Amino acid sequence: MSPPVIILIVVGVVVLLPLIYVLAIYNRLVSIRAHMRESWSDVDVELKRRYELIPNLVETVKGYATHERETLEQVTRLRNQAAAEHDDLSSQSRDEQALIEGLRRIFVVVEDYPELKSDKNFRQLQAELANTEDRIAAARRFFNGNVRELNQLVEMFPSNLIAGAFGFSRSEYFQLDDDRQRAVPKVTLDA
């Protein structure tokens, strides 16, 4: 091989390898962002499922516990607040925490009404709510895993240079701040 060909190969390698690396990291960032958006839509679907169950649960409890009206109205208000559009994950998290607390209050009220606890419709709603809570937790873990992966790439060298150059930034985790609220509302099917 002649010296000009060798120089051309060396220059090509020196230019192409970094370009290939930049393209690979950029494509990985785009892919993770897409997974993150997809996983958030999974969380959103499960939250909407919860929002649809709550009015039925409130109506069932209302039939038995008429003097618990204030608690039931508060849960309905919290449900509507959580179901509303949110600008960021932290406000969504706060509203979800408040809703979980409201649901806990309903289940405390239910303890005083044995005939309600044995109602078939109520027990079915409890089971659906427990299933939905499990699905929300799984979707949230998947979303937060994607957030973690994106945040690592955005912060680690040298991928942080590429992320910064193309406008990628850290994302928020969807989490509950109060340890008591991390637990799924207690749902028992005792008759």
Q: How many CA atoms lie within 13 A of 6 on its CB side?
A: 3
What is the Cα–Cα distance from 18 to 23, expressed in whole angstroms? 9
Q: What count of other Cβ atoms lies within 10 Å of the Cβ of residue 78? A: 21
Report the pLDDT value the prediction gives residue 85, as an integer from 0 to 100. 87
Say which DSSP state 184 is in. Answer: P
Report the pLDDT value the prediction gives residue 189, as an integer from 0 to 100. 44
Report the pLDDT value the prediction gives residue 181, as an integer from 0 to 100. 45
What is the Cα–Cα distance from 81 to 102, expressed in whole angstroms? 12
Report the pLDDT value the prediction gives residue 177, as an integer from 0 to 100. 64
Q: Which residues of the chain have pLDDT under 70?
A: 177-191
Q: What count of other Cβ atoms lies within 10 Å of the Cβ of residue 12? A: 10
Report the pLDDT value the prediction gives residue 139, as an integer from 0 to 100. 95
CATH number 1.20.1440.20 given to 22-182? yes
Q: Residue 123: which of 50, 60, 55 has the closest Cα?
A: 60
What is the Cα–Cα distance from 150 to 51, expressed in whole angstroms? 29
Residues comprising the chain, all counted:
191
Domain ranges of the chain: 22-182
Report the pLDDT value the prediction gives residue 149, as an integer from 0 to 100. 96
Report the pLDDT value the prediction gives residue 175, as an integer from 0 to 100. 83
- ∠ CA 57-61-62, nearest 5°, is 115
pLDDT digits (tens, 9 = 90+) for 95-114: 999 999 999 888 888 888 88
R_g of the chain, CA atoms, integer Å: 25
Give the tokens for residue 36. 């993150």
End-to-end CA distance of the chain: 87
Report the pLDDT value the prediction gives residue 148, as an integer from 0 to 100. 97
pLDDT digits (tens, 9 = 90+) for 4-40: 888 888 888 888 999 999 999 999 999 999 999 999 9
What is the Cα–Cα distance from 144 to 175, expressed in whole angstroms? 8
DSSP, collapsed to helix, strand or coil, labels residue 80 as helix
